[in-house]
Chain A
Amino acid sequence: MRETMIKLALTACAYLSILTTFGIVLVLLFETIGFFRKESIVEFLTSTRWSPTTGSFGILPLVYGTLTATIIAVIVALPLGLLAAIYLSEYASRGLRRWLKPALEILAGIPTVVYGYFALTFITPFLRSHLFPDIGSFNALSAGLIMGVMIIPTVASVSEDAIFAVPQSLREGAYALGATKRETATKIVVPAALSGIVAAVILGISRAIGETMIVTIAMGAQPIWGGSPLEGMQAMTAYIVQVVGGETPRGSVQYQSIFAVGSALFVMTLTLNLISYWFVRRFREVY
């Protein structure tokens, strides 16, 4: 009797979370359709002009802002995260690993608003006085750099799991051929963990694309197509924040446009997750 009650409660919780997700997607879809009743979907996907107040809804400038920051973030996070993962799994002593791994995961818990202010008040001035004198106060570079730092823990931690899971017997096989530790780590262990590493990077990219506070605070609110990373841009998420926080009347086209942008974001991260899922399945090694 008690058993069945508990089971029932758990099942209800599981279905509730699925239903909630489903509901959110439905609302998103519904509002998006409403938006496309008024605006052309072709223009939305192909125009390079985003100016809601004048009725121009070409999403490419927002996508450009998001991708610029994301690419910079990946350039930072991929090498650092991977090296950190290799170090933790292959070189750090057991005791050190026991401390460092959770410390790394705590880093992932720093509120992104803190990162955002750090980019705005520290990174940008630093870049201006040392490297790029004419960098804008809002710019994609510092937002991207700090976003890279933000996703390092994700990339490192998930890759580390994959690298650590490579069976010891594979390392021994390499050692027995006269391989050094470095050769074993870089040429045997990392390739064997490749699917997990790719999944880690894609997870990091998803986080970067969906990241809101950093780009809102440090990258600015100018939807510009094809600008330099030293200039301000607007990311998709930052636009949504701008509208939600502003005085745009509900039900107006501008207001509905955030759902279309939200749908586009959703499609992007969903695609990435599917790629990662496919990759893990396709390249998972069976030991």
Chain B
Amino acid sequence: MGDVQPSPGDPEENRDPVDSEKKTREGNPTMRPVPETQNQDSKSAREDLGGMGMSVSDLNAYYGSFKAVTDVSMEIQANKVTALIGPSGCGKSTYIRCLNRMHEVISGAYAQGRVTLGEQDIYAKDADPVIIRRRVGMVFQKPNPFSKSIYDNVAWGAKINGFRGNMDELVERSLRQAALWDEVKDRLKESGFGLSGGQQQRLCIARTLAVEPEVILMDEPASALDPVSTQKIEDTMDDLKKSYTVVIVTHNMQQAARISDYTGFFYIENQGDPGQLWEFDETEKMFSNPERKETEDYVTGRFG
């Protein structure tokens, strides 16, 4: 991630994308294009950042011999919010975890198919999952803060990725973006465990933002949250998509309709089959006039 990587005030280094890419993360090249204007300070640079689109074709996901998701193809538009909906167990979590190679972390689990992030095939032989995950961040269903202070929770990811700019500034900016700053600004040194569940989840969002990925995956981030925290997270969404591409799994139809630009409906036709992407379209169309009957039944709450 070129924007924070090179030391500010070294424009020479920043002007050459290949060079600064190479410097990222212990010499591993990343694919993050470096915007031309990013050589002043990290703050102004960050606002120029866009998200990156992803393209998925014929993706199959397995847990050992069990096939959980079959033949998904999807274009994820840059700087848009894509919502994934569908009944429980139809493979939404499995699918979203394939988008940053988190699926394979589970022992025995693997994915087949082609997923690209910009030009990068993330399942290419030479693709390093560590770098992919740095570019495609993830917020989990259950808040999972580290056993560190609030400040270090946010700073840690940036630190291990070689961030050399002003860390205080980055932490504050990330916490503001996650709508948590005002609540924690006086207790940054306290443990992240001391926060409420909703605050912990916003802390996890802030921590993901601090790494400045190009895509943010969210797996039911609001499922265990009260309406106020949910609202706060939703409110950040419009802001987030200016700088990031967002993919979000949700069980809440109103939420999907409110915050997303595109919606994918996952469905299992016959029990025991793997889940598939039943319908994928602009959110407006999906909620007003979907092509398939099951989609309509689901979004209108007739089953699921």
| A interface, CB within 8 angstroms of B | 94, 167, 169-180, 183, 187-188, 191-192, 194, 285-286
Contacts and interface: CB of A to CB of B under 8 A. Distances in A.
Interface stretch (B68-76, B134-142, B182-190, B242-250): B134-142
A177 B211 contact: yes
B146 interface: yes
Contacts, number: 71
Contact of B105 (A94, A175, A194, A285): A175
B204 A173 contact: yes
24 contacts: A169-B142, A169-B144, A172-B105, A172-B140, A172-B144, A173-B144, A173-B207, A175-B105, A175-B130, A175-B133, A176-B102, A176-B137, A176-B138, A176-B140, A177-B133, A177-B134, A177-B137, A178-B133, A178-B211, A179-B160, A191-B147, A191-B148, A192-B147, A285-B193
Contacts of A286: 193
B157 A175 contact: no
B298 interface: no
Nearest to B148: A191
B278 interface: no
Which of A94, A173, A178 has the most chain B CB atoms closer than 10 A to its own CB?
A178
A174 B142 contact: no
Interface of B: 25, 100, 102, 105, 107, 130-131, 133-135, 137-138, 140, 142, 144-148, 156-157, 160-161, 193, 204, 207-208, 211
A286 B142 CA distance: 13
Interface of A is mostly: helix
Given A176-B100, A176-B137, A177-B137, A170 B146 contact: yes
Given A177-B137, A179-B130, A191-B148, A172 B102 contact: yes
A177 B208 contact: yes
A172 B104 CA distance: 11
Contacts of A285: 147, 193
A178 B157 contact: yes
Q: Which 6 A-B pairs have the closest CB atoms?
A: A178-B134, A177-B157, A176-B138, A169-B144, A173-B144, A192-B147
B264 to A, nearest CB: 21
A191 B149 CA distance: 12
A179 B102 CA distance: 12
A263 to B, nearest CB: 38
Contact of B140 (A169, A188, A192): A169
Given A179-B160, A180-B130, 17 more contacts: A170-B146, A173-B145, A173-B204, A175-B102, A175-B105, A175-B133, A176-B100, A176-B137, A176-B208, A177-B134, A177-B156, A178-B25, A178-B157, A179-B157, A187-B156, A187-B160, A188-B147
A194 B25 CA distance: 28
Nearest to B134: A178
A179 B129 CA distance: 10
Given A172-B102, A173-B204, A286-B193, A178 B146 contact: no
Nearest to A285: B147
A175 B128 CA distance: 12
Nearest to B210: A177
B159 to A, nearest CB: 9
B247 to A, nearest CB: 13
A25 B137 CA distance: 58
A170 B144 contact: yes
A24 to B, nearest CB: 39
Contacts of B204: 173
Contacts of A170: 144, 146-147
Which of A172, A177, A191 has the most chain B CB atoms closer than 10 A to its own CB?
A177
Contact of B144 (A167, A180, A191, A194): A167
Contacts of A194: 147
